[in-house]
Amino acid sequence: MKNTQYDYLIVGAGLFGAVFAREATDQGKKVLVIDKRDHTGGNIYCENIEGINVHKYGAHIFHTSNQQVWDYVNRFVTFNHYVNSPVARYQDKLYNLPFNMNTFYQLWGVTTPQQAKDKIEAERAPYADLEPQNLEEQALFLGGRDLYEKLIKGYTEKQWGRPATQIPAFIIKRLPFRFTFDNNYFNDTYQGIPVGGYNALTDALLEGVEVRTGINYFDKADDYNQLADKILYTGKIDEFFDCQFGALEYRSLHFETEVLDQDSYQGNAVINYTEREVPYTRILEHKHFEFGTSDKTVITKEYPHEFSKDNEPYYPINDETNNALLTKYQELAKTAPYADKFIFGGRLANYKYYDMDDTIEAALALTTQELV
Ligand code: FAD
């Protein structure tokens, strides 16, 4: 007779925790999921405002080329035919993204792939001998000044909160030029938004699983640890160890959401504002993710932000210093008392940017390893 109530306590009802909870439950394990937020779904959660699913933690578009992951999610929801085709706005002009024949036509009036290639070569020529030392030089070297100033500079500086000359060159490895008239942002085989929104996916994953929201694991960690044989922890790894070696750094975001009394504001789900002078990076118009037809619309302005303990950790900053710190925490996770009892998974525990399909793939891999 075992003296714990659950086989697994899962800290975090995000996608990673929810997939593992589903699989463990289906294999006959007794599972409890807790989350400190007042809802499940983690960062894929949507808030319903005026009948529109509002992506509360930033725009989420599901895309994958992983057949196993695609088949898996389609067991729980169906996907609509949304194709991510963001538009960039610089001053009063609009440009299609990713950089493709439409963009080159809008920038330079070129109409054929050969003209576009010749123009890009001419734009790059003044910088051909550069050995790029920072992002600005790298972008000039790869695409020339016009493209850099209109579509890269301001947006990237806002994202990173510093001048492009102080951002490392490796951030832009290559510029993905496409010499076709194709505005589909992703190259993946599958993409879309779950019909009924992301909460439909989370709800289906967590159906029949015991979930308690509004509970911070650290408020009573010792008590929660007693409840289960094993703990899957999907929160921040540094926080788990009381930030004893120092805190891992993130970039954060701040969102301003408005309901507007009009049926459409910008005619597209995502518009990037690439001018440095406009303080936000993007405006999302949520109804267009799901082809909404209501009389009202909801828009969100997205502002990049410094991270502090009072705001959300969005993007890990995987530079040398933070990665070295991460390694120290990962070593500690292996050697700490009762190390075998704890499993670390998901984007915060691994301090890694994972797309949703990577998150699901990683959770399913853990399932295979853990639930034999
Ligand atoms: P999370 O969703 O963060 O879930 C972790 C959960 O743990 C949270 O609910 C948190 O409240 C909870 N938690 C943490 N600490 C505690 C604690 N102490 N006690 C209790 N609960 C705790 N992916 C795509 O594929 N397409 C996209 O378009 C896309 N857009 C993105 C946009 C942004 C701005 C960001 C940041 C990410 C985006 N992603 C996208 C990635 C996607 O959000 C992640 O893959 C996914 O959310 C990761 O799930 P997770 O469970 O690992 O983490």
Give me the CATH number covering residue 338.
3.40.50.720
Lowest mean pLDDT among 16-30, 117-131, 158-172, 194-208: 158-172
Average pLDDT over residues 100-120: 98
pLDDT greater than 80 at residue 372? no
Tell how far the Cα of 337 is from the centroid of ligand 1, in angstroms: 28
What is residue 1's predicted lDDT score, i.e. its pLDDT? 61
| Residue 112 contacts residue 49 (beta carbons within 8 Å) | no
Residues 244 and 321 in one domain: yes
Lowest mean pLDDT among 22-31, 72-81, 191-200, 331-340: 331-340
Domain for residue 180, yes or no? no
For residues 249 and 316, give the distance between their C-alpha atoms in angstroms, rounded to a whole number: 6
| Residue 168 contacts residue 137 (beta carbons within 8 Å) | no
Specify the number of domains making up the chain.
2
Residues 221 and 328 in one domain: yes
For residues 185 and 326, give the distance between their C-alpha atoms in angstroms, rounded to a whole number: 32
* Structural domain span for residue 156: 101-171
> Between β-strands 93-96 and 52-55, what pairing exists: parallel, antiparallel or unpaired?
unpaired
Domain for residue 350, yes or no? yes
Give the model confidence (pLDDT) of 287-330 as tens digits. Answer: 999 999 999 999 999 999 989 888 899 999 988 999 999 999 99
Residues 163 and 223 in one domain: no
Average pLDDT over residues 335-347: 93
Average pLDDT over residues 123-150: 97
What are 49's strand-pairing partners? Answer: 52
For residues 202 and 254, give the distance between their C-alpha atoms in angstroms, rounded to a whole number: 24
Residues 162 and 223 in one domain: no
Domain for residue 357, yes or no? yes
- Tell me which residue has its CA closest to atom 12 in ligand 1: 12
Tell how far the Cα of 356 is from the centroid of ligand 1, in angstroms: 9
Domain for residue 184, yes or no? no
Among 171, 194, 216, identify where a domain stops. Answer: 171
Domain for residue 187, yes or no? no
pLDDT greater than 80 at residue 2? no
Average pLDDT over residues 38-51: 98
Residues 14 and 161 in one domain: no
Residues 165 and 220 in one domain: no
283 φψ region: left (φ > 0), alpha (ψ -120 to 50), beta (else):
beta
Domain for residue 32, yes or no? yes
| Residue 229 contacts residue 30 (beta carbons within 8 Å) | no
Average pLDDT over residues 25-47: 98
Quick check: pTM over 0.75? yes
User: Residue type at 277?
Assistant: E
Average pLDDT over residues 332-348: 94
Q: Kind and range of the H or E element at 69? A: helix 67-74
Domain for residue 293, yes or no? no
What are 11's strand-pairing partners? Answer: 34, 233
What is residue 276's predicted lDDT score, i.e. its pLDDT? 96
Find out whether the beta carbon of 211 lies less than 6 Å from any atom of ligand 1.
Answer: no
| Residue 322 contacts residue 316 (beta carbons within 8 Å) | yes
Q: Which of 71, 38, 65, 41 is nearest to 55 (CA)?
A: 41
Residues 239 and 326 in one domain: yes
Domain for residue 198, yes or no? no
Q: Give me the catalytic one of 47, 50, 149, 355.
A: 355
For residues 135 and 171, give the distance between their C-alpha atoms in angstroms, rounded to a whole number: 7
pLDDT band at 166 (very low <50, low <70, confident <90, very high): very high
Residues 167 and 213 in one domain: no
Q: In the structure encoding, which two tokens stand for residue 142, read together?
A: 């790869």
- The mean pLDDT value of the chain amounts to 96
